[in-house]
Amino acid sequence: MAGGYVICEYETVKQRFPKFQAVMTTLRNQLIAKAEKDWNMPFAGRRKISEAAARGIRLETPGPGLDVDVDRGEFGETTILPALFNGVMAAYQPMPTWHQWFNTTGSQVIIQGAASAGRIYEDYKVGLAGLVFLDKAIRISEIKMQISDKKLPRVNIEEVLAYNKPAIVFEEGYILDEEKGFELYANVLTEGPQRIKLLGLH
């Protein structure tokens, strides 16, 4: 991956990769700035900073993005929802959870944007910081991604087979923009269940 990546157990991401919080903060700030510019809407966290300051509480900018006031035209943030993506099950329908069942082996798209042609839905922007395998049994050996027209190189991840619930954390995050394509390819080794969660925010 451009910028590199770190492999570690999900539970130890913060200890094994101390820069993780800085990566997430940078990615979050870039995503919020892009959304404010593209949508010409305020981020809910900015109002929260003002409200907290009136009560004598200091919040770090850009503030928390929950509790969105739609009457003020605000947007917010949350973790990445699986419903924004299609998986290999149910003829590439939006995923209700990160759980999938691999029916075939070999190189294939395992996660893609849920809008037509594998695009991210309009009015959504995703900050991708990595991947997390939520199972002990890992069924893939390689990954590669395509974000819009940018193809990221194929990466051999057989090392993850030695970890319990491994995470692949990017040293630089990626923004998956609305109405732009996203595809995560994998070389699937065996058929069966697999839960791969996208790590980040939207």
Which phi and psi (to 5°) does residue 89 adopt?
-80, 160
- Are 168 and 95 within one domain? yes
Residue 80 corresponds to which tokens in the numbers above? 């990445």
Domain closes at, from 20, 51, 76: 76
Residue 150 corresponds to which tokens in the numbers above? 């940018």
Structural domain for 66, as ranges: 41-76
**What pLDDT does 202 receive?**
87
- Are 151 and 112 within one domain? yes
**What pLDDT does 142 receive?**
95
- Are 68 and 131 within one domain? no
**What pLDDT does 14 receive?**
74
- Counting the structural domains of the chain, the total is 2
Local confidence pLDDT in tens for the 202 residues of the chain: 556 888 888 888 877 777 888 888 999 999 999 999 999 998 888 888 788 888 888 777 776 666 787 788 889 888 999 999 999 865 568 899 999 999 999 999 999 999 999 999 999 999 999 999 998 889 999 999 999 999 988 889 998 888 888 999 998 999 999 999 999 999 999 999 999 999 999 8
